Amino acid sequence: MASSSSSSSASATEGYRGGLEIPGWEHFYTGKVRDLYRHPHHPKHMLMIATDRLSAFDVVMNETIPDRGRVLTFITEYWLQEFSAWMPAARVTCEAAQVPDLPEEWQETLQGRLTWTRVAERVNVEVVLRAYLAGSGFREYQATGRLWDHPLPAGLLNSSKLPEVLHTPTTKADTDEPITWPEAVELIGSESEAAQIHALALRIFHAAAQRAAAKNVVLADTKFEFGRIDGQIVLIDEVMTPDSSRYWPMDAIVAGQEPPSFDKEIVRAYLRSLTDWNRQAPPPHIPAEVIAKTRDRYLDICEILTGSLPQGVAR
């Protein structure tokens, strides 16, 4: 591998931070977790790379969670394969060797964390589905007795199961804002297309929740992003990962308390305990034991859902 890649490759103790300069490719977007690249020979495709960067309270930390990007990619691919017979996706392949014009010397570094995907026209609504009260949904219920435009029974507690799976869409912007379903339909631009997206999202959610329940895990909520390719609705971005979903151990649900989730909640809890950080950059130092416990949670849910870990990832 070229020496210029050594500072960006992951090791057992230091994760992959991203920001590679790949010859012939344009690095045109840096998100909190993902880097996006495009190649002039393939204008209808792009390369999405999941890094191990860690963000909390909208601040990117100095530390990484080693192998997190591989876990997110692996879980997304698992779900896309599960539903491939009836739910098309923008994703083409996650195999580095199958990405055209990707230099061979970069393939080892990027294997397991890249997705070669078709460019889709994004639907500017984030589809959020909730089966349990938690997080912002519980805070909204505490304040209004409702889940935005959905009336709810009185007396529900944190982690209470909802009467049905509810769709609470948000905008796709720098800050996602809750909107009503009629507002979502207007943003989508077509009542029939909105109905299709709603039905597909519910079908995916119920199928995934059933599979998770068989493994003693509750899928409390999740969010999807959809796009259009040649007039067809497709899934884009990550799908039911611990970053886009709230997974709970079934035996840890206690009414009135939010159960431990298989995600970076350990990091957020540590940061909330700090009295000298204002939740703005620069971020504070996160102890190694907090990082290690968080990594374990990502590996736990990956093994529970898929039955294995990504190739090359070990405890």
Instruction: Check residue 173 and give its pLDDT.
Output: 72
Residue 174 has pLDDT above 90, yes or no: no
Could you tell me the domains of the chain? Answer: 19-119 (3.30.200.20), 122-261 (3.30.470.20)
* CA end-to-end span of the chain: 25
Residue 170 has pLDDT above 60, yes or no: yes
The mean-pLDDT minimum among 41-50, 98-107, 254-263, 301-310 falls in: 254-263
Instruction: Check residue 108 and give its pLDDT.
Output: 94
Distance CA 157, CA 56 (A): 25
Distance CA 230, CA 116 (A): 18
Do the bridges between strand 59-64 and strand 53-56 make them parallel or antiparallel, or are there none, so unpaired? antiparallel
* Mean pLDDT score, 221-232: 97
Residue 225 has pLDDT above 60, yes or no: yes
Residue 68 has pLDDT above 50, yes or no: yes
| b/e code 177-216 from CB counts within 10 Å (16+ = b) | ebbebeebbeebeeeebbeebbebbeebbeebbebbeeee
* Mean pLDDT score, 250-276: 94
Residue 54 has pLDDT above 70, yes or no: yes
* Mean pLDDT score, 237-247: 97
Instruction: Check residue 14 and give its pLDDT.
Output: 81
C-beta contacts of 282-289 below 8 A and 24+ residues apart: 283/56, 283/59, 283/60, 283/61, 283/62, 285/62, 285/63, 286/54, 286/61, 286/62, 286/63
* Mean pLDDT score, 10-31: 87
For residue 298, give the 3-state DSSP assignment: helix
The mean-pLDDT minimum among 174-178, 196-200, 267-271 falls in: 174-178
Task: Give the helix/strand (H/E) hosting 235.
Answer: strand 232-236
CB 240 within 8 A of CB 219: yes
DSSP tag of 89: B
Instruction: Check residue 9 and give its pLDDT.
Output: 43
CB 275 within 8 A of CB 256: no
Residue 28 has pLDDT above 70, yes or no: yes
Instruction: Check residue 55 and give its pLDDT.
Output: 95
Instruction: Check residue 13 and give its pLDDT.
Output: 58
* Mean pLDDT score, 261-280: 95
Name residue 171's beta-bridge partners.
Answer: 125
Distance CA 239, CA 76 (A): 5
Residue 10 has pLDDT above 50, yes or no: no
Distance CA 291, CA 273 (A): 15
Instruction: Check residue 172 and give its pLDDT.
Output: 85
Q: What is the pLDDT of residues 112-159, one digit of tens each?
A: 999 999 999 999 999 999 999 999 999 999 999 999 999 999 999 999
pTM higher than 0.85: yes
Residue, of 2 and 165, whose pLDDT is higher: 165
The mean-pLDDT minimum among 4-18, 55-69, 217-231, 238-252 falls in: 4-18
Instruction: Check residue 261 and give its pLDDT.
Output: 94
Nearest to 109 by CA among 15, 9, 198, 22: 9
